Amino acid sequence: MTQPSAPLIDLTDTQVERYARHIMLREVGGEGQGKLLGSSVLIVGAGGLGAPMLLYLAAAGVGRIGVVDDDVVDLSNLQRQVVHETAGVGLPKVDSAAARIKRLNPDVKVIAHRTRLDAGNVMEILSHYDVVADGTDNFATRFLLNDACYFAGKTLVSAAMLRFDGQLSTFKAHLGDPHPCYRCVFREPPPPGMIPSCSEGGVLGALAGSMGSLQSVEVLKELLGIGDSLSGRLLMYSALETSFRTVKIRKDPDCPLCGSHPAYTDLSHHRQG
């Protein structure tokens, strides 16, 4: 699993009290909590998935959290994007999120990237973080993140949701066999208009909390190096059926990114058109 780049941090008395329920876990302890405080996560998207991740990872004491978003808070966001508040309508989402996290946990440093990721800036932004969490709502950015994380050697925890259904997996194909990448499962983005976005098809607000919380757990597991990684498995959740299903996903030897004869050796295919 991913190991933080920063050294372990000695805990203060205040931190021992704040993170006491983590510290009493055998799998975490004081050493693990110090590891979290010395680690960093990039959350792409401060929306439905990013909002609960921002809150839970900040509450967990992840020491440095980057958030990428170029949008502003809209009233329609507040049904699910719980990191934002009514008073923040009209503010940049990255600023709204940073202010909320500062109030929640002063241990955490937030780096606001008010921009849209593209092939020109993604590698530089990724380079400063240990783990990347995909909370985006469009396929172009999702595929860009997968490809960039592969080239940058970064673990990617990715979730998606629509209406009453969500899915989640972890991708770290840069580690080699048997780890697949996102393209091993979904080769190319679907044609425009085939799959509606949440703004077009709707989404149950609490589903965002469920999937973002599950995503946060997987990020923390990767940072701490505990438990079984979701790499090689796709978790699917149906809120209407109250059912979880996990399917195995395998590395595709013909994958255009991480396969035996890759067609993509850099991000130039994301610059086309």
Kindly report, residue by residue over 39-66, the tens digit of the pLDDT: 999 999 999 999 999 999 999 999 999 9
Q: Where are the beta strands (DSSP E) in the chain?
A: 40-44, 64-68, 109-113, 131-134, 155-162, 165-171, 233-238, 243-248
Segments forming the whole domain that contains residue 107: 23-270
**What pLDDT does residue 6 have?**
52
Is 198 one of the annotated active-site residues of the chain? Answer: yes
- The least confident of 8-17, 175-184, 222-231, 245-254 is 8-17
Number of structural domains found in the chain = 1
Kindly state whether residue 265 falls inside one of the protein's structural domains: yes
Residue 49: what residue type? L
Kindly state whether residue 6 falls inside one of the protein's structural domains: no
Give the confidence band of 131 by pLDDT, cuts at 50, 70, 90: very high
Strands 131-134 and 155-162: parallel
CATH number for position 124: 3.40.50.720
**What pLDDT does residue 198 have?**
74
Kindly state whether residue 57 falls inside one of the protein's structural domains: yes
Kindly state whether residue 10 falls inside one of the protein's structural domains: no
Kindly state whether residue 9 falls inside one of the protein's structural domains: no
Kindly state whether residue 112 falls inside one of the protein's structural domains: yes
End-to-end CA distance of the chain: 36
Which tokens hold the place of 210? Answer: 């469920």
Which tokens hold the place of 115? Answer: 């921009």
Q: Which of 244, 159, 208 is nearest to 55 (CA)?
A: 208
User: Is the pLDDT score of 2 beyond 50?
Assistant: no
Three-class SS of residue 97? helix
If you average pLDDT over residues 220-248, what whole number do you get?
Answer: 98
d(CA 161, CA 212): 10
**What pLDDT does residue 4 have?**
44
Active-site choice (149, 181, 184, 198): 198
Kindly state whether residue 13 falls inside one of the protein's structural domains: no
d(CA 170, CA 218): 8
- Backbone torsions φ then ψ of 3, nearest 5 degrees: -115, 135
Kindly state whether residue 8 falls inside one of the protein's structural domains: no
Sheet holding 165-171, edge to edge: 109-113, 64-68, 40-44, 131-134, 155-162, 165-171, 233-238, 243-248
Q: 175-180: long-range contacts (C-beta < 8 A, 24 or more apart)?
A: 177/251, 178/232, 178/250, 178/251, 179/231, 179/232, 179/251, 180/231, 180/232, 180/249, 180/250, 180/251, 180/252, 180/255, 180/258
Q: Which of 273, 270, 248, 251 is nearest to 260 (CA)?
A: 251
